[in-house]
Amino acid sequence: MTSTLIKNGRIVDGTGKPAVDGSVLVQDGKIAAVGAAADTQATPDAHVIDATGQTVMPGLIDTHCHLSFDDAGSNAEIFHQRRNGLSALVASYNARKLLRAGVTSILDPDSTFENMIDLRDAIDANIVQGPRMSCGAYALITGVGGTAGQLINDEGTTGYYMAVNSKDEIVKEVRRQIKYGADWIKVHVTGIIPRQAHKGELCVWTMDELKLICDTAHDLHTPVMGHCRGAEATRKAAVAGFDLIFHGTAMDDEALQAVIDHKVPIAPALTFQYNMVEFGKKIGTSDTLMAMFEREITESIDSMTKAHKEGVPLLTGSEAGFSLVPYGDWHYREMEVFVKYFGMSPLEAIQCGTQKSAIGIKMEGEIGVIAQGYRADIICVTGKVDEDLSLLGNPDNISNVMIDGVEKDLSPLPKRNRIPGWRLASIGDTRLTREVAYGEEQATQTAFIEELH
């Protein structure tokens, strides 16, 4: 029997309860005891970790992380510059960055060539190291297109998308994805129609179609998750039977009520926007664009706060995979969004990022809590995390990461070199007008971020 005793730690158990000092005993991959019982039950041969001055807490769970995208700056890059085998190999490198950031589980909603199913199986088989993974395959979209607008082919696959154009195609594709190992069915419930972009993202499915996806998937014991921006899509998804909603921004009263009635968990994934709000200046973003990003967060404050109070689980998701939220750096940050904008205490936010986010891995009651019987997905972090969440942002603070009781290698990753043909060649979209060249004017980036993720 392998056992580890983590001593002298400040235990934040992930349930929202205040921290307590004490020990955690891990045996055969599970938490065997917590507190005084851990000390008395530990055998003399137990491996000891001294966590003096550290927080001992459940590993972080990121329910919105695209491991196959490789910090892309555009959908065009993901759609046209990626190769199947290579993107899976690159993802296996990036997966190790997540471990070093204290992430022990992720939900990968959709991937190029649906190849994160392969990475998940390789991690499960202990062939490569990475967090525990739960995966979608291709994101379902109608012929109307998704957030990448007209870049998406009218039929078949484009990047991480699969267009389905009839009820027969829906049924066939949902069954095919489940057959090949999808843990979840991902649906882009909303999309942008370029000609109508001023209306924001529109719901691109009928209610019958959304219900058909849910019925087909649920019959095969597979949950359904949806990218939903705007009230109509969020309401329809909740009523149709979706098991998880991403974004859920700009809900009206009806949408909020539907989410509350059906207790559909929401992963707002606002880290992307928050990074732009706080650091946009550093990457040359205009004030107008930054204000637009902040509005997306502030417009959701009322509905998210109410949903949280009514018992709708809010899950943490970083949207990592895009250049604004590089792997390894921002996975904890959604908890800061919840504190700053949704009025949560750090302990409540930690509960969202651990116990509640276990819903995204479909392992509620098994991971995300430090309590007897749970799987030992545990991290040790220097300092009092329940008083300062930003401690999680510095990998130097994270000394131990274990999954199923097995400690992961946190040594620095080898330096990565350029991959031929991998990035989209671009000279940037800042126009070198004569005013910029010879005048006082400082050029700022014009980004079209609404056409991402």
Q: Which residues of this chain interact with Zn ion, rule CB under 5 A?
A: 453
Q: Which residues contact 24 (CB under 8 A, 6 or more apart)?
A: 5, 6, 9, 11, 31, 33, 34, 38, 56, 370, 378
236 versus 453: smaller Cβ distance to Zn ion: 453
| 56, 11 contact by CB (below 8 A) | yes
185 phi and psi, to 5 degrees? -100, 125
- Could you tell me the CA-to-CA distances from 195 to 143, 200, 231, 429 in Å, in that order? 15, 11, 20, 21
Q: Give CA–CA dist 108/136, Å, rounded.
A: 6
56 versus 107: smaller Cβ distance to Zn ion: 107
246 versus 374: smaller Cβ distance to Zn ion: 246
The residue at minimum Cβ distance from Zn ion is 453
Q: What is the closest distance, in whole angstroms, from the C-beta atom of residue 66 to Zn ion in the complex?
A: 6
| 175, 217 contact by CB (below 8 A) | no
Q: Which residues contact 279 (CB under 8 A, 6 or more apart)?
A: none
378 versus 452: smaller Cβ distance to Zn ion: 452
Q: What is the closest distance, in whole angstroms, from the C-beta atom of residue 257 to Zn ion in the complex?
A: 26
CA-based torsion, 115, 117, 122, 128: positive or negative: positive
Q: What is the closest distance, in whole angstroms, from the C-beta atom of residue 322 to Zn ion in the complex?
A: 8
The token duo for 334 is 């959604």
64 versus 408: smaller Cβ distance to Zn ion: 64
Q: Give CA–CA dist 58/36, Å, rounded.
A: 19
Q: Give CA–CA dist 68/91, Å, rounded.
A: 5
* DSSP-assigned letter for residue 149: G
Q: What is the closest distance, in whole angstroms, from the C-beta atom of residue 146 to Zn ion in the complex?
A: 11
Q: What is the closest distance, in whole angstroms, from the C-beta atom of residue 12 to Zn ion in the complex?
A: 28
186 versus 235: smaller Cβ distance to Zn ion: 186
CA-nearest of 308, 139, 305, 154 to 227 is 139
Q: What is the closest distance, in whole angstroms, from the C-beta atom of residue 396 to Zn ion in the complex?
A: 29
The token duo for 71 is 């910090």
357 versus 400: smaller Cβ distance to Zn ion: 357
Q: What is the closest distance, in whole angstroms, from the C-beta atom of residue 273 to Zn ion in the complex?
A: 12
| Max CA distance (Å), the chain | 76
Beta-strand relationship, 398-403 and 406-407: antiparallel
Q: Which residues contact 291 (CB under 8 A, 6 or more apart)?
A: none
Q: What is the closest distance, in whole angstroms, from the C-beta atom of residue 158 to Zn ion in the complex?
A: 15
246 versus 342: smaller Cβ distance to Zn ion: 246
333 versus 453: smaller Cβ distance to Zn ion: 453
Helix (H) or strand (E) holding 71, with range, is none
Q: Which residues contact 313 (CB under 8 A, 6 or more apart)?
A: 263, 265, 266, 352, 356, 359
Helix (H) or strand (E) holding 48, with range, is strand 47-50
Q: What is the closest distance, in whole angstroms, from the C-beta atom of residue 207 to Zn ion in the complex?
A: 24
227 versus 236: smaller Cβ distance to Zn ion: 227
Q: What is the closest distance, in whole angstroms, from the C-beta atom of residue 244 to Zn ion in the complex?
A: 12
331 versus 453: smaller Cβ distance to Zn ion: 453
Residue 297's Cβ-count burial label (10 Å; 0-12, 13-18, 19+) is buried
* DSSP-assigned letter for residue 439: S
How many C-beta atoms surround the C-beta of residue 437 within 10 A? 9
Q: What is the closest distance, in whole angstroms, from the C-beta atom of residue 139 to Zn ion in the complex?
A: 9
